[in-house]
Amino acid sequence: MTRLGDWPPRAYGNVVSVLIAALTGVQFGCGDTSELPPPGDPQIKQVVVSRTDYSSCVVRMDGEVECWGKLEDPEVAMRPESLRAEYLAFARTTGCAIERDSRRVVCWGPDWTEGELDNLGTHLSLGSVPVVCWHRYPGGVACQAAQTYVERIASGIWAEYNRVALQKILDGVPAGEGWTRLDSYDGVHACALSSEQLLHCWGHGYEYFGGGAPSARVLDFALGHNFGCALLEDGAPVCWGQTSGRAPPPGRFDRVFAGWYNVCYRRVEEQTVICVGGDQHGNVTDVPAQEQFDHVSIGRHICGLTLDRRVVCWGRNDHGQANVPEHINTPSDTKDGDE
């Protein structure tokens, strides 16, 4: 799942620690650090996996986007050449970004036309269909579907279901400007978190699976395929929807990430992650247990950005999407010196 958090985007988490480590050489954590891998590129601020699950991308501090894996899929191949992104998100065949300088929401792919979106945003979220939700500047929420997609789903056996589902996701957008976080999935399930840390969820999928989002204050939340999970104030996880096989593990956590059939939780003290859910491609059993993560992005493979700004991937790898190119984890100043 493509996630987002407080503005600035939560990919900036632990930036102070990272900068101190880069300047002083001090490693944060416990125990012997003599065998720790070298730090990665401090210029990387976000890693995101595509919704086709065949590629992975990073966003650098200057807005440059670089991807690897199956690069011909439209959500990767059709991104604007001049794109400089502040935040990047993918749906199946669709990509969207907040432009770094203008803060405009831009989307691309076979269902989008250039200029169809002309809105300022702070961060955004996509489901698996071309329906994008974003934070309107300075704090409201908006959702919009690609017009070509709207026309395409208007016929066929699922036309009425699609019409109702789309209408509910668009009409259910909460009013006001006190929303601090946002996530959506499949174009039928979305949630926003208020400044009072209360969840508001909406959409046909959310209703169909019985609702169930916690009414108590939460620290974090994430949505996946027909389910959602949140962390209560004490760090305890709770989930709703189709949660079979994704039972929350015991422990206290400060971040939760979701996507497709997996949920990953970051432990409060260790800053390592534990994942639950489908394990067909090793998404659960191959989690790098000792890595400390800033954030992870989940599809049928998973990529994460560590606290020292290295990109680590595991899971499905039939197109090399989990093979992180060596130069991605090479500090920018080293690369410049080699040229």
- Averaged pLDDT, 278-292: 94
Query: Nearest-CA neighbor of 10 among 124, 173, 142?
Result: 124
Which pLDDT band holds residue 22 (cuts at 50, 70, 90)? very low
User: Residue 188: which residues within 8 A CB-CB, separation 6 or more?
Assistant: 127, 165, 168, 169, 203, 204, 205, 206, 208
Query: Nearest-CA neighbor of 307 among 326, 294, 325?
Result: 294
Q: What whole-number distance in Å separates Cα of residue 189 and Cα of residue 37? A: 39
**123 located within any domain:** yes
Q: What is the pLDDT of residue 30?
A: 35
For residue 80, what is the DSSP state? -
**18 located within any domain:** yes
* Owner of token pair 């009425």: 160
Which pLDDT band holds residue 266 (cuts at 50, 70, 90)? very high
**253 located within any domain:** yes
Which pLDDT band holds residue 339 (cuts at 50, 70, 90)? very low
Which pLDDT band holds residue 117 (cuts at 50, 70, 90)? confident
Query: Nearest-CA neighbor of 191 among 242, 205, 166?
Result: 205
Which pLDDT band holds residue 13 (cuts at 50, 70, 90)? very low
pTM of the model: 0.85
Q: What CATH number did the domain enclosing 102 receive?
A: 2.130.10.30
Q: What is the pLDDT of residue 122?
A: 78
Count how many domains the chain has: 1
Alpha helix ranges (H) inside the chain: 15-24, 74-77, 147-152, 159-171, 204-208, 332-338
Q: What whole-number distance in Å separates Cα of residue 158 and Cα of residue 105? A: 29
Which pLDDT band holds residue 186 (cuts at 50, 70, 90)? confident
**4 located within any domain:** no
**166 located within any domain:** yes
- What is the share, in percent, of the chain residues with pLDDT greater than 70? 85
CA atoms 29, 33, 37, 38: torsion sign? positive
Is the model's pLDDT at 115 over the cut of 70? Answer: yes
- Averaged pLDDT, 195-206: 93
- Averaged pLDDT, 187-207: 91
- Averaged pLDDT, 157-172: 90
**34 located within any domain:** no
Q: What is the pLDDT of residue 333?
A: 66
Q: What is the pLDDT of residue 28?
A: 30
For residue 109, what is the DSSP state? S
Q: What is the pLDDT of residues 209-245, one digit of tens each?
A: 888 999 999 999 999 888 999 999 999 999 999 888 8
Amino acid residing at 188: V
Q: What whole-number distance in Å separates Cα of residue 18 and Cα of residue 331? A: 13
Alpha helix ranges (H) inside 48-193: 74-77, 147-152, 159-171
Q: Residue 336, class by beta-carbon neighbours within 10 Å (0-12 exposed, 13-18 middle, 19+ buried)?
A: exposed
Is the model's pLDDT at 57 over the cut of 70? Answer: yes
- For 213, the domain range is 10-27+39-338
- Averaged pLDDT, 196-205: 93
Q: What is the pLDDT of residues 23-54, one digit of tens each?
A: 233 333 333 334 555 666 789 999 999 987 89
**113 located within any domain:** yes
Q: What is the pLDDT of residue 135?
A: 84
Is the model's pLDDT at 21 over the cut of 50? Answer: no
Q: What whole-number distance in Å separates Cα of residue 147 and Cα of residue 111? A: 7
Averaged pLDDT score across all residues of the chain: 84
Q: What is the pLDDT of residue 5?
A: 37
| Cα–Cα–Cα angle for 98, 101, 103, rounded to 5 degrees | 35
Q: What whole-number distance in Å separates Cα of residue 52 and Cα of residue 160? A: 26
For 26-57, letters b (16+ CB in 10 Å) and e give: eeeeeeeeeeeeebbbbbbbbbbbbbbbbbbb
Q: What whole-number distance in Å separates Cα of residue 306 and Cα of residue 14? A: 10
Q: What is the pLDDT of residues 94-103, one digit of tens each?
A: 999 999 999 9
What token pair was written down for 109? Answer: 């792919």
**194 located within any domain:** yes
Q: What whole-number distance in Å separates Cα of residue 149 and Cα of residue 161? A: 14
Which pLDDT band holds residue 61 (cuts at 50, 70, 90)? very high
Is the model's pLDDT at 270 over the cut of 60? Answer: yes
